[in-house]
Amino acid sequence: MKFSNVALFLLVYFAFAKAGTAQIQHMEPPNWWAGMEHSQVEIMFHGNNIGEFKNVNSDLEILNVRHTENPNYLFVMVETANKPAGFYDITLGKAGIKMSKNFSLQERDENSQQRTGFDSSDAIYLLMPDRFANGDPSNDSVKSMTEKVNRADKGGRHGGDIQGIIDHLDYIKDLGATAIWSTPLLEDNDVSYSYHTYAQSDLYNIDPRYGTNELYRKLADELHSHDMKLIMDYVTNHWGATHWMMKDLPTETWIHKFPDNKGKDFPVEGYANSSYRQSTQMDPNASERDKTYAEKGWFVSTMPDLNQSEPLVLNYLIQNAIWWIEYAGLDGLRVDTYSYNEKDGIAAWTKAIMNEYPNFNIVGETWLHDQAQIAYWQKDSPISAIQSYNTNLPSVMDFTLHDAILEAFKEPEQGWDKGMIRVYENFVNDFLYPDIDNIMVFAGNHDTNRISGDGVYNSNLENYKLAMTLVLTTRGIPQLYYGDEIGMMGNKGTNGDGDIRRDFPGGWENDVNNAFHKTGRTQTQENYHGFTKNLLNYRKSKPVLHTGKLLQYVPEENCYVYFRSNENSRVMVVINNNVAAVTLDLSRFVEGLNGKNRGIDIISNSQIDLNKSLKVAGKTSLVIDLD
């Protein structure tokens, strides 16, 4: 068949015009690294009719090409093992039309695979970037992002950012913290309440109102130069309804939908909310329906639940987490709503991360109110082993201790299950945990009431001191919530989440009170800060408080005594929760004292005689260094 020049011109013109409609809009991950354990990388291409390109070629070995029912997606699995760093072309073709994309393999940082994660030698400072400090007012509102700054709105964006964190690293280090856990920083384009950033709209980009990917990497570098660590808050269970894929899902099975909710199209057809009954995850008597709604129901209507039983979804999440660890040089992950994930999916995700970084650490949010149910989620748990299940998760959060702290120090009299007995009984169950040192302990976080706030301690400094003495000297990894160290107030129950996520005073230009500096703190703020700083910095230099054995005594008269010890060191802790003074007969504590008859109380900096008896003032704690 012969073509006229005009016909040939039109044929070529329309061919290129059609090719132009198939431009690549997203390529994720955008790059990888040479020498990775996870060497088989699944690259997702997204663009109009990109799936029509059936011929795929590359300098990298093509292991698999997957087309989905959505013609706008193409998934290409490549092998990067034994390939040096450099640029590799990936060419997509169909019917004489080709388009190419460079995919780079970068050099890994030295000893990247062997990086050491956070551990019990650390003290973690949890902050919400939007509420901590505004280091760059120019990005408070961004044209491309829906929600704009409104500091007057408790639930709005206030303008805090990554630069604000960098600007105050000296404050955090001076306080005695050794690691920062920041709530999520990835893009969240919700129309409101986007400041918490748990409804993410792009998993490969920092929200521009916080900064850039490069600035996030600088934060990690700055922390490392301060001999501190960075923990990323990672969300595997869901993302935001405004995520760019929600307008064009790769597969019908990408998110969980409920057929019995057919026709209910808010925010998508088949939506159903989680029951939040995560005890169904290990309940041998649970109905399949209850397990399904707990595990696969959406956390809220603006957070679509990801289907981790879909291999494309699971691998996407694995690669994204590894990408951020490698790109930013992270020292750990805190995984949001860990127990809401599909059990097999989250176990595979966790194992893949730990295979890549065997000395890394991941702590999961395991918000349950029973020690056995929390212990179920820790790696090698004998409890979950009964069901032939292993999460591979190194660390869990001690929510039962938090429960005890919220009540115990408001109870001046000891009962059978009241006062310091609550705390004692929590540690009785430590036998349930396979790695007791690798548990996060805390008095409060961004989802719980402020411990000094209305309804908890009501600005009672004495109760704060008792609680923080416990958190900073017991087993596990202590975590402090920003602002608690200056007695920041807030009541979630009466005023909403925004009230427990107030702006740190001094983080914004023209703030009247600047609590980042001693001269700017009120006397009350300084009383809180001075106590916290003293104890945190003592803990930092005292390895026995990191890994020493915990020996506890049944509380009497609402006074709780325990010891931390190893072969070379010993610390005695006394927490008198009684409003009256208590006199301790020290002969009861011979095992813990181990021949020691004097020590220094780190809190009061005074010498303590431990020969016969010890009088402890009401609502007072002692941390007695016996070395």
Sheet holding 549-556, edge to edge: 549-556, 559-565, 570-576, 620-625, 598-601, 606-609
Domain range for 591 is: 548-625
Widest Cα–Cα separation across the chain:
111
From 486, 514, 541, the end of a domain falls on 541
From 106, 139, 162, the end of a domain falls on 106
**CB–CB of 437/476 below 8 Å?**
yes
Examine the domain organization and report whether 493 and 552 are in the same domain.
Answer: no
Give me Rg for the CA atoms of the chain. Answer: 27
- 476: which residues sit within 8 A by CB, 6+ positions away? 120, 398, 436, 437, 438, 439, 440, 441
Candidates 120, 101, 110; CA nearest to 26 is 101
336 is catalytic: yes
Instruction: For residues 213 and 190, give the distance between their C-alpha atoms in angstroms, rounded to a whole number.
Output: 20
Given 365, 398, 484, 485, the catalytic residue: 365
pLDDT at 197 over 90: yes
Examine the domain organization and report whether 97 and 73 are in the same domain.
Answer: yes
- 528: which residues sit within 8 A by CB, 6+ positions away? 452, 461, 464, 484, 485, 486, 487
Examine the domain organization and report whether 25 and 52 are in the same domain.
Answer: yes
Instruction: For residues 25 and 98, give the distance between their C-alpha atoms in angstroms, rounded to a whole number.
Output: 16
- Label residue 527 left, alpha or beta by phi (over 0 means left) and psi (-120 to 50 means alpha): alpha
Instruction: For residues 57 and 78, give the distance between their C-alpha atoms in angstroms, rounded to a whole number.
Output: 10
Examine the domain organization and report whether 143 and 61 are in the same domain.
Answer: no
Query: Please, which pLDDT band fits residue 271 given cuts at 50, 70 and 90?
Result: confident
Beta-bridge partner residues of 56: 92
* pLDDT tens digit sequence for 564-598: 999 999 999 999 999 999 999 999 999 999 999 99
**CB–CB of 31/50 below 8 Å?**
no
The pLDDT, as a whole number, for residue 454 is: 85
Mean pLDDT of 124-132: 98
- What's the CATH code of the domain at 578? 2.60.40.1180
The pLDDT, as a whole number, for residue 22 is: 66
Q: What is the DSSP string of 147-215?
A: --B-TT-TTSB----HHHHHHTHHHHHHHT--EEEEPP-EE---SSSGGG--S-SEEEEE-TTT--HHH
pLDDT at 6 over 60: no
- 616: which residues sit within 8 A by CB, 6+ positions away? 559, 574, 576, 581, 582, 583, 584, 622
* pLDDT tens digit sequence for 67-78: 999 999 999 999
Q: Is position 239 within any domain?
A: no
Examine the domain organization and report whether 213 and 131 are in the same domain.
Answer: yes
Examine the domain organization and report whether 525 and 583 are in the same domain.
Answer: no
The pLDDT, as a whole number, for residue 258 is: 87
Tally the residues of the chain.
627
pLDDT at 422 over 60: yes
Q: Which secondary-structure segment (H or E) carries 10? A: helix 5-20
Given 130, 202, 336, 398, the catalytic residue: 336
- Say what percent of the chain tops pLDDT 90: 92
Examine the domain organization and report whether 132 and 188 are in the same domain.
Answer: yes
- What's the CATH code of the domain at 523? 3.20.20.80
pTM above 0.75, yes or no: yes
365 is catalytic: yes
* pLDDT tens digit sequence for 214-258: 999 999 999 999 999 999 999 999 999 999 999 999 999 999 998
Examine the domain organization and report whether 529 and 585 are in the same domain.
Answer: no
pLDDT at 322 over 80: yes
Three-state SS sequence of 94-113: ECCEEEEEEEEEECCCCCCC
- Say what percent of the chain tops pLDDT 70: 95
Examine the domain organization and report whether 515 and 561 are in the same domain.
Answer: no
Q: Is position 316 within any domain?
A: no
Examine the domain organization and report whether 139 and 205 are in the same domain.
Answer: yes
Examine the domain organization and report whether 48 and 99 are in the same domain.
Answer: yes
Candidates 279, 277, 280, 271; CA nearest to 298 is 271
Q: Domain total for the chain?
A: 3
Reduced to 3 states (helix: H, G, I; strand: E, B; else coil), residue 67 is: strand
Examine the domain organization and report whether 79 and 169 are in the same domain.
Answer: no
From 62, 78, 106, the end of a domain falls on 106
